[in-house]
Structure formats: C-alpha cells, structure tokens
C-alpha cells in the first residue's frame, strides 16, 4: 500500500463507501444516520492544488434505523426530498497536500448552497487483485442546519430544542481509478 496519492480520475465505489451524519437529539443524545444512494468522482491532478471532486447524494435515501424518523427527515419539515431530491458537493479548491488536506467547496442541501471545508485524511492507495488502482479517504465537516434552511424544531419542556443545530458529516470513500481511454 502506498501513502502517495496517484494522479488520475477516480469514481467512488458506493458499495465500499459511506456518507453519514450525526446530530444532537433532546440535548442529551446523538442520532446517527447515513445515505444509501450517492455517487461521485474526483480528479487528483499532477499539481495537487488543481484537484477537484463532485458528489451527489439522494436526499430520500436516508437511513437512521427508524422508518418514522426517516420519513420525517425526507418530508417538507426537513429537506423535502420530493421537490429537492439531491444534495451536491462541488469542490472549489484544495489546501495542503499529503496525507491530510482540506477540500473546500460548495455544499447544496435543501436547495441552499453554502461553502464548506472538508478535513480529509488520505488512507492509502493500492492495486487490487484484478489490477485496479484504488484509493481511500476519510473526510469530515460540521454544518449548521439553520444555514441550509433546516429550521424545524420543537421546544423542550425543560428548555432547549429537540434537534440540535450542528450536524457532523462524515464520509468514508473507496474509489477506483478510471482507465484512460485510447483514441483510435
């Protein structure tokens, strides 16, 4: 396994990747969830600062382990997946290089686009048994629900709110390098 990120274009292997989130509930617990449908690709440029990434997440594919909660999250109270079915991330720049770097970009949730910074850790590169080049990354950031128009909440009897404002996003990616096409 290599600790150098090989240049090239990669496609996210969704079967070996995960997009998850965590938010405080009732001020005392943390609820976790994940999205089961997402896709994306990224290009690692020779000049690392020129690298770029795009990801699309199906808002309706949320899974928290509770069907009622999942239904509520996809309703108009939260991210209205029927009329705003996709979340997207499009990178705008990369800061740093090596095993840890920042990927800056525009995140669109619930039809609202805001800049975010993903803290990224490069987990390694290898050629698998079939010869396919693969890379792995972990990324995370924290966003404010309110900044994305996600304001539904319930006041608690003892004070505070049912759903916290800060949402931690965590991403685990395994991606496969695309083969270069040969023009005839």
Residues 127-141: tens digit of each pLDDT: 888 888 999 999 999
What range defines the domain where residue 98 resides? 8-177
The CATH number covering residue 73 comes to 2.40.128.110
Q: Is residue 169 part of a domain?
A: yes
Report which of residues 154 and 33 the model is more confident about.
33
The answer to whether position 3 is within a domain reads no
User: What are 121's strand-pairing partners?
Assistant: 100, 138
Question: Looking at the domain assignment, is residue 1 inside a domain?
Answer: no
- Residue in the block written with tokens 């850790």: 121
Q: Report the number of distinct structural domains present in the chain.
A: 1
How far apart are the C-alpha atoms of 76 and 176, rounded to whole Å? 36
Is 183 a domain residue? no
Flag whether pLDDT at 180 surpasses 70. no
Tens digits of per-residue pLDDT, 24-58?
887 777 889 999 999 999 999 999 999 999 999 99
78 in any annotated domain: yes
For residue 48, count CB atoms less than 10 angstroms from its CB and return exposed for 0-12, middle for 13-18, buried for 19 or more: middle
| Domain contains 171 | yes
What is the per-residue pLDDT for 132? 87
Residue 134 lies in a domain: yes
Euclidean distance between the first and final Cα of the chain, in Å?
A: 34
CB-CB contact of 106 with 123 (8 Å): no
């Amino acid at each position: 396994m290599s600790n150098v990120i090989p240049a090239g274009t990669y496609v996210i292997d969704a079967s070996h990747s995960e997009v998850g989130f965590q938010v405080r509930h009732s001020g005392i617990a943390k609820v976790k969830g994940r999205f089961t449908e997402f896709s994306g690709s990224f290009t690692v440029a020779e000049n690392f600062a020129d690298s770029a990434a795009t990801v699309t997440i199906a808002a309706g594919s949320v899974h928290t382990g509770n069907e009622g909660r999942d239904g509520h999250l996809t309703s108009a109270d939260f991210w209205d997946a029927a009329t705003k079915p996709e979340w997207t991330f499009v990178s705008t720049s990369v800061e740093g290089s090596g095993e840890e770097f920042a990927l800056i970009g525009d995140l669109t949730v619930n039809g609202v686009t805001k800049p975010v910074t993903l803290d990224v850790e490069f987990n390694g590169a290898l050629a698998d048994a079939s010869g396919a080049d693969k890379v792995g990354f972990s990324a995370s950031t924290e966003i404010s629900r309110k900044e994305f128009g996600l304001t539904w909440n319930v006041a608690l009897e003892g004070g505070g709110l049912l759903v916290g404002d800060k949402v931690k996003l965590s991403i685990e990616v395994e991606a496969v390098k695309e083969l270069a096409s040969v023009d005839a």
